[in-house]
Amino acid sequence: MNKPMPGQALDDLETPVLLLDLDRFESNVQHMAAYCRDNGKEWRPHSKAHKSPAIAHIELANGACGITCAKLSEAEWMVAHGVPSILLANQIVSPVKFAALARLQHRAEVIAAVDNIAVVEPMAAAAIDEGVRIPVVVEIDIGMKRVGVEPGPPLLALSKAISDQPGLAFKGLMGYEGHVLDCWPLQAKKKACYQALDILVESRNLLENNGLQIEIVSAGGTGSYELSALHDGVTELQAGGGVFMDVMYRRKCHVEALTPALTVLTSVTSRAADRVVVDAGFKTLSSSHQPPEVLGRDDLRLRGLSAEHGVFNIVEGQAGPALGEQIELLVGYSDSTTFLHNYFVAVRKGRVEKIWDISARGLLR
């Protein structure tokens, strides 16, 4: 079956299809870039939600200082497509990956995140073998209890070890306040967020007092960026998923300034008196973290997703959609939905304008 074509009307699209509303997407990109800029922060958006060089270049054109990647293979792909600066916000530990990271430095700045002193010497050796210096930030556990070195003496020892290696260039710190995203009410979230970010600032002060220079203090996901951008100690934000603004960020994280832009267009393929079935199940859109929501109508309630079916109950007293009628679903969580698709169908005013390949999908190493 052929890809959608520019100029094609939405009513003529074969479903299911992943849609990106360009007016809303562009507004979100501009808002996030301006919010970071107006608060004195660089914007380095995460690419794990879109996995698309085309979208990365739109973010760069709107003022992003670079992008953030979750995996080395994803960073390799982005470098191959002209992205000049990348933060690799995940740890690597194998000699093969150290060598690949070193080779990338000939073509772009790819900053490694380190949280264990055991990787310092082999990473530096790979850099020396390649005749480059690998830029490095130290990731600190600021409360999420996932990855990161402990603050204080362990951080200082690791940072000194990095700065002492001729093959490495110590750049600074990063941390992720992911444990505060769904805190509420606002004052409780603000308190928890700033307690976490204060650890980064205290860590920066510790290192500077011991003679180390700090260029980067990186933090901030979409679920907390509105608060993190206001914290004086942070230099850059990694918030990326907000360009799509899915249901999870609105419902769980209480992000209000951005507009939902990512949807899945489906069709009703079966119906009964009390329910309809659409042609999109969990192989098309994920209910992980947050279920999808029906856009523009209030007569359907999600019963559940199976592999290729989405089952919706018809609200009592409502007629419900007809067989073959298109239903547009707001994506529950973009990170766990976009990688299921080969491309975004970018639309404006009811017509297809662009097709953007999700070409970094499957790059997991």
From residue 276, alpha-carbon distances to 20, 120, 271, 330 in Å are: 25, 56, 4, 17
**Are 168 and 113 spatial neighbours (Cβ–Cβ below 8 Å)?**
no
pLDDT band, residue 210 (cuts 50/70/90): very high
**Of the candidates 142, 148, 201, the residue with the CA atom closest to the CA atom of residue 177:** 142
Model confidence pLDDT, tens digit, residues 245-261: 999 999 999 999 999 99
| Residues 348, 334: Cα–Cα separation, whole Å | 20
Between CA 212 and CA 71 the distance in angstroms is 28
Residues contacting 39, CB < 8 A, separation 6+? 229, 230
Torsion angles phi and psi, residue 33, rounded to 5: -60, -45
Q: What percent of the chain has pLDDT over 70?
A: 100
Residue 287 in this model has a pLDDT that exceeds 90:
no
Per-residue pLDDT, 1: 80
Alpha-carbon distance of 181 to 172, in angstroms, equals 24
Q: How many CB atoms lie within 10 A of CB 301?
A: 12
The whole-chain average pLDDT of the chain stands at 97
pLDDT one-digit tens code per residue, 26-84: 999 999 999 999 999 999 999 999 999 999 999 999 999 999 999 999 999 999 999 99
Q: What is the pLDDT of residues 219-239, one digit of tens each?
A: 999 999 999 999 999 999 999
- What's the whole-number mean pLDDT along residues 84-101? 98
- pLDDT score at 64: 98
- pLDDT value of residue 227: 97
Distance in angstroms (rounded) separating the CA atoms of residues 120 and 91: 12
| 290-309: pLDDT as tens digits | 999 999 999 999 999 999 99
Q: Among candidates 201, 254, 189, which has minimal Cα distance to 231?
A: 201
- Which amino acid type is present at position 142? I
Identify the structural domains of the chain with CATH numbers, from first to last: 10-18+258-357 (2.40.37.20), 22-243 (3.20.20.10)
Residues 6+ apart with CB under 8 A from 342: 357, 358, 361
pLDDT computed for residue 80 by the predictor: 98
